[in-house]
Amino acid sequence: MSEESPRNYLTAVESRLAADGCNPQWQDWSGVRVLVGRRSDFRLRWMATNLHVFTIAAAVPEITAATIDTFTTQTLSFAKKNKGGLPVGMQTGVAVFPVLVSERVDPAAMAWAEEKQRNQFACFARPVVVDTARHYVGLFRGKPALGWIYSSHLIEKGDRYFNHPA
C-alpha cells in the first residue's frame, strides 16, 4: 500500500461521518491534523438520556499501545470539554471513538483497542486502531457492564464509520 492509504481511509471516514450528520471538521492538535465529527442522540430507552458521540481520528507514523492509550485520554478530555449542554451524568453521556490510522501497527495496540471499552463517569471510549497495510480495523464490539445500554448504538456507529480500510 502507498503512503496515501491512511489519508484515503480518513477521507472515507470523513464522508461516512458527513452522511451520518456528524459535521466533520479538520483541526490542528499541536501540529497533528485531526478529523473531529460529532452528533447527539437521544433515546427514551436510554432512560431519557442524550448521548454525545464524538469521532476523533488521525493518521500517525506508527501505533503502539501507549500511543492509542494517550490519544484515548486526550479525546475523552476534549469531548467532555466540548459537548455542551447539561453536565456529564445529568441525563447526558459522552461516547468517543478515538481513531488512529497507520501502516505500522504494533499487535499489542490492536489487542488493546479490541480488549474493552474504556470508561470514566458517564463517558465511554471505544478506541479504534486501523492497520491500512493489513486492511484491518480493531475496536471493541462487545457489551460492557458499564454503559451497556448504549452498546448496540455504539456497535452500529462503529460498523458504519470504520468498517473497511481504504
In a domain, 166, yes or no: no
In a domain, 130, yes or no: yes
In a domain, 82, yes or no: yes
Range of 71's domain? 5-160
- Kindly tell me if the per-residue pLDDT of 2 is higher than 60: no
In a domain, 165, yes or no: no
Q: What is the pLDDT of residue 146?
A: 65
Q: By percentage, how much of the chain surpasses pLDDT 90?
A: 60
Mind listing the pLDDT tens digit for each residue in 96-145?
999 999 999 999 999 999 998 887 676 889 999 999 999 999 998 877 66
In a domain, 68, yes or no: yes
Domains identified in the chain, total number: 1
User: How far apart (Å, rounded) are the C-alpha atoms in residues 138 and 100?
Assistant: 10
User: How far apart (Å, rounded) are the C-alpha atoms in residues 63 and 139?
Assistant: 14
**Which one is predicted more confidently, 44 or 32?**
32
In a domain, 108, yes or no: yes
Q: What pTM value is reported for the model?
A: 0.88
Q: DSSP E strands: which ranges in 2-158?
A: 25-29, 32-43, 49-59, 92-102, 118-120, 123-125, 128-131, 136-139
Q: Sorting pLDDT into bands at 50, 70 and 90, what band is 1? A: very low
pLDDT, average across residues 35-60: 81
- Kindly tell me if the per-residue pLDDT of 147 is higher than 90: no
Nearest to 92 by CA among 41, 140, 58: 41
Residue 74 region by backbone torsions, left for phi larger than 0, else alpha for psi between -120 and 50, else beta: alpha
pLDDT, average across residues 66-92: 81
The phi and psi torsions of 163 (rounded to 5 degrees) equal -50, -45
pLDDT, average across residues 41-67: 83
In a domain, 60, yes or no: yes
Q: 38: which 3 cell numbers?
A: 460529532
Which residues, including other chains, have CB under 8 Å from residue 41's CB and lie 6 or more apart?
Answer: 50, 51, 53, 153
Angle formed by the axes of helices 151-162 and 5-19, nearest 10°: 130
What average pLDDT is seen over the chain?
Answer: 85
In a domain, 111, yes or no: yes
